[in-house]
Amino acid sequence: MKRVMALLLVAVMAIACFAACGGKKSDGKIHVGVINNDPSESGYRTANVNDLKAMFGDGNTNNYAGQFFYSLKNDEQIEAAKKMITDGVDYLLLSAADTSGWDGVLKDAKKAGVRVILFDRTIDASADLYESSVVSDMAKEGEMAVAWLASQNLAEYNIIHIQGAMGSAAQKGRTGALDKKVADNANWNMVVQQTATWDANEATKIVASAINAGKSFNVIYAENDGMAQGAVKALDDAGISHGVGKDVIILGFDCNEWALKELKAGNWNYDGQCNPFQAQYLHDIIQKLEKGETVEKQIIMDEKGFDATTITDEDVKKYGI
């Protein structure tokens, strides 16, 4: 009798576990948990968050039931991930605040049958713990910008290089390409290379300081739009012309809508995209996985670079964030 009871108990527990851990929910929707950085991080992040919300959030047309969590802190993100796994989501979409510390929770996910897709940022974890990752190639962004700059065929490149927060992936990628070019070419000179830690006001001070010191330059390579704008403010105050056909060439990154407008107006010369529109990629991966197809471990997004002379109003609308 006892044995029968025990068996019965085990059976009940197994069924309960199965119901909780696996399979689709009774509503027939695909349950997606999105863990992202906080939208206050940057304009880029806001666009990214909104894009994902439109795809997976309330009112979407693709049969997704999404839940979202935003934080700039790794441990809070991990806690949220654990909760989503317990909630029994089908897919966990993750843009981690920090590259490390995710091993444990991803193993839990695997055990529970939750499929993990990374976006925007990679992590230090065994590749079999996630299905795929959707990322930007920051180095390529830098290379595209530098290639564009080289195509301007200036006799001499005297560059003020304003860097982002030192050590960040975007800074490393965008700095690397330029550093290499300057080292390889005698007519490429680095006049000032300084970090403004993504802060526009610091960028203004750096450029103003260079102007006050009487340094001559004809290129400003800023690693995001805010800092490019800060640099432009210093030029404006000093009465130095900039943009298409003017004294100083301006390069920025991120494709803020207002930045693209500056581009369109010819005040800036180039803006490199850092693609925040990742929802479509994620959607495609999920659909493939649902059909049982295999997906690539790493998908590098297509990213554009806009030239002031060729940008259209449509581009501004479509790609501006």
Partner 1 sequence: MKIFKKLIGSQIMLPLIALLVLVLFNLIWDPSFFAISLGANNAGDPILKGNLVTIFDYGSELAILAIGMTLVTAASGGQDISVGATIAIAGSVILRIIRGNEVNVDTMKAPLIVAFIAAVVATMLVGAFNGALVSFFKVPPMVATLIMFTAGRSIAGWINNYDNIYIGDPRFKIFGGVVPGFPVPTAIIIALVCMIVIALVLKFTTLGLYAQSVGINEKSAKLNGINPIFVKFLTFVLLGVCCAVCGLIQTSRLGTINYSNISLNIEMDAILAVALGGNALGGGKFNMASSVLGAYIIQFLTVTLYKLDVPSTAISAYKAVVVIILVVISSPVVTKKIKEMKSRRNAKEAARKAGVE
Residues at the interface with partner 1 (CB under 8 A)? 38-43, 46-47, 49-50, 163, 166, 192-195, 197-201, 204-206, 208-214, 226, 229-230, 233, 235-241, 256-258, 261, 321
Q: Is 222 helix (H, G, I), strand (E, B) or coil?
A: strand
28 or 167, CB closer to partner 1? 167
Strand order in the sheet with 219-222: 188-195, 157-163, 219-222, 249-253, 270-272, 305-307
From CA 21, how far away is CA 109, in angstroms rounded? 10
Shortest distance, position 247 Cβ to partner 1, whole Å:
11
CB of 95 to partner 1, least distance (A): 15
Radius of gyration of the chain (CA): 24
Length of the chain as a residue count: 321
d(CA 179, CA 177): 6
**CB closer to partner 1, 21 vs 72:** 72
Rounded least distance, CB 67 to partner 1, Å: 19
Nearer to partner 1, 41 or 137 (CB): 41
Question: If we measure between CA atoms, which residue out of 140, 193, 196, 194 comes closest to residue 165?
Answer: 196
Q: Which of 152, 173, 194 is nearest to 253 (CA)?
A: 173
DSSP, residue by residue, 143-169: HHHHHHHHTT--S-EEEEEEE-STT-H
Closest CA to 228 of 288, 268, 281, 264: 268
**Closer CB to partner 1, 33 or 230, in the complex:** 230
Residue number with CB closer to partner 1 (75 or 124): 75
Q: In whole angstroms, what is the distance from residue 290 CA to residue 202 CA?
A: 48
Q: Which is nearer to partner 1, 50 or 108 (CB)?
A: 50
Three-state DSSP class for residue 232: helix
- 42 Cβ contact partners less than 8 Å away, ≥ 6 residues apart: 198, 224, 254
Q: Measured from the CB atom, is 47 or 125 closer to partner 1?
A: 47
> How near is the Cβ of 193 to partner 1 at its closest, in Å?
7
